[in-house]
Amino acid sequence: MANTINIFPSTETLSFAAEPVLEPILKTENLWKVYRTGQVDVPALRGVSIEIFPGEFVSIMGPSGCGKSTMLHVIGGLARPTKGRVFLDGNDLAAMSDSERTLLRRHKVGFVFQKFNLLPTLDAYHNIALAQHLHENGFDPHRFDVVANLLGLGTRLKHKPSELSGGEQQRVAIARAIISEPKIVLADEPTGNLDTKSSDNVLGILRQLNKDLGQTIVMITHNPDAAAYGNRVLHMRDGLVVDGANVH
């Protein structure tokens, strides 16, 4: 049976103020993801159970190959779990069809990637606006201006990604991720391709989004300094969360 997804964003158009909500915005129960390589099953996630509440900024740390990125893909609806359940804003991703997960990503998830993943043919303006155009609510010029100014992109909007620095590209990517007011922003090593100064800038922006606007953020990193920007750190190893899974 298809899940019903509330596709309409919050009525607080420009305010992300955190509210005291007891229900987690994201919850996984015994989450497994197994990849098949030839004849061999390779488990990337082996029963992950976590809860993330609205307004949290959670960092996920762990060595390469521990399943961090896989978990981000699964909780973001990009990949279907092999076993277990993922609830995002009350929607069970594991039970959703491909097109339902697409709809959920469009309305409830914002992604920020290590390699920025901006469309190279579009300038910064159109890269950001694209996310709004995909959204049923369409382009909102007022919100666009607010977000562009918040990210300090006012003078760089007519530039294509190839004409922007790494830090600028990542700020465009963050703007694209939050422009449609997602319930959660999933950042996969957002500073992995940046120098120290740009990294600090990007991490500062993420923290500002979380603190000032209450934006829920899950960030993958293997940099302890970057992880410290979050208010909770999960540690993963061998496909399992070994520390920080629960709010204390």
Partner 1 sequence: MIGHNVMHRPVRTLITIIAVAVEVTLVIIVVGLTSGLLSESAKRIEGVGADIMVQPPSASVFMAFSGAPMPIRLGDKLKELDYVQDVAPVLLQFNSVNGLDIIYGIDSASFRSVSGGFVFHEGHGLKKPDDMLVDDIYAKSKKVKVGQTLRILEHDFHVVGIVEHGKGARLFVELATLQAMAGASDKASVFFIKCDRPDRTPAVMDEIRQLLPRYEIRPLKDFISLMTSSNLPGLGAFINSMIGIAVAIGFLVIFLSMYTTIIERTREIGILKSLGASKPYIVRIILSETTLLCLAGIVGGVGLSFLCRTIFLDLFPTLTILITAGWILRAAGIAIVGGLLGAAYPAWLASRRDPVEALAYE
User: Which residue lies nearer to partner 1 by CB, 72 or 236?
Assistant: 72
User: Which residue lies nearer to partner 1 by CB, 76 or 84?
Assistant: 76
Positive or negative torsion for Cα 159, 129, 180, 68 = negative
| 113 lines the binding site for partner 1 (CB under 8 A) | yes
Number of H helices, E strands in the chain: 7, 10
165 to each of 57, 109, 125, 126, 171, how far by Cα in Å?
A: 26, 25, 15, 17, 10
Q: Give 48's strand partners.
A: 31
d(C-alpha 220, C-alpha 136), whole Å: 29
User: Which residue lies nearer to partner 1 by CB, 119 or 247?
Assistant: 119
Per-residue x/- marks for partner 1, 46-85, CB under 8 A? ---------------------------x--x-xx------
d(C-alpha 215, C-alpha 54), whole Å: 8
User: Which residue lies nearer to partner 1 by CB, 91 or 232?
Assistant: 91
| 11 lines the binding site for partner 1 (CB under 8 A) | no
d(C-alpha 53, C-alpha 75), whole Å: 14
Q: How far is the CB of 91 from partner 1 (least distance, A)?
A: 14
| 117 lines the binding site for partner 1 (CB under 8 A) | yes
| 42 lines the binding site for partner 1 (CB under 8 A) | no
Which of 27, 68, 105, 143 forms a contact with partner 1 (CB under 8 A)? 105
Position 65: which residue type?
G
Residues that bind partner 1 (CB under 8 A): 73, 76, 78-79, 98-99, 102-107, 109, 111, 113, 117-122, 126, 130-131, 134-135, 176
